[in-house]
Amino acid sequence: MSSESEKSPEEVVREFQKKQELRRNIFVGIVIVLIGVWAFNSGSSTQNSSPEPVPTQIDTSWMPIEFNSWSDDPNVAWRWLDTKEYECTNEACWGLMVIAKNGCKSNLYAEISILDKSEVQIGYTNDTVSSALPMQKSKLVFNSYEKSAHSARLSKISCY
């Protein structure tokens, strides 16, 4: 009989416990290394990165000079209309000119927030036009029936 092939139950248990301890130590070591890597990366990213995201460059070469780029869609540009460029159906209204570089297949939608004299939002209104051709200017007029309406802020432009 060979001594290696026949082990006592105590030796088998000791070997099992040693292997189990070795596995646990390897697992703990891996966890510690992963925590260290995570801590190093999170610490270095806050030291080397700026607190504000780096803005991406938007191609505005296609837009007429007086237009603003719409932040949610680089295909869309807009500007407020002068009061002589549109007609109101009541006392409080605003006009907007929108242009889409690639057009809007189904419709062009815009929404404004209505503000009172204290710049408190008191409502909203919207306007839409059906499909806009590429580089076609679209006039939108927003009417408000809020008695305390004083100014407006552009809230949304969607090109579908």
Q: Does any domain span residue 59?
A: no
Q: Does any domain span residue 60?
A: no
How confident is the model at residue 59, as a pLDDT?
87
Do 143 and 81 belong together in one domain?
Answer: yes
Alpha carbon dihedral 26, 32, 33, 37, in 10-degree steps, equals 160
Backbone CA torsion sign across 59, 63, 69, 74? negative
Residues 65 and 83: their CA atoms lie apart, in Å, by: 19
Q: Does any domain span residue 21?
A: yes
Which residues are CB-neighbours of 26 under 8 A, at least 6 positions away?
A: none
Q: Is the Cβ–Cβ distance between 73 and 159 less than 8 Å?
A: yes
CATH of the domain at 132: 2.60.40
How confident is the model at residue 47, as a pLDDT?
45
How confident is the model at residue 48, as a pLDDT?
45
Mean pLDDT by 10 residues, the chain (160 residues): 69 83 85 80 52 69 95 95 92 95 96 97 96 96 94 96
- The residue whose two tokens read 């891996």 is 30
Which residues are CB-neighbours of 94 under 8 A, at least 6 positions away?
A: 80, 81, 112, 141, 142, 152
Do 97 and 154 belong together in one domain?
Answer: yes
Do 72 and 136 belong together in one domain?
Answer: yes
How confident is the model at residue 129, as a pLDDT?
97
Give Cα separations from 102 to 81, 127, 134, 140 (angstroms).
22, 20, 4, 18
How confident is the model at residue 111, as a pLDDT?
98
How confident is the model at residue 52, as a pLDDT?
58
- The residue whose two tokens read 């780029």 is 69
Residues 99 and 102: their CA atoms lie apart, in Å, by: 9
How confident is the model at residue 5, as a pLDDT?
67
pTM for the whole structure? 0.64
How confident is the model at residue 87, as a pLDDT?
93
How confident is the model at residue 26, as a pLDDT?
87
Residue span of the structural domain in which 50 resides: 7-54
How confident is the model at residue 33, as a pLDDT?
82
3-state secondary structure of 95: strand
For the chain, the domain total comes to: 2
Residue 29 φ then ψ, to 5°: -60, -45
How confident is the model at residue 62, as a pLDDT?
96
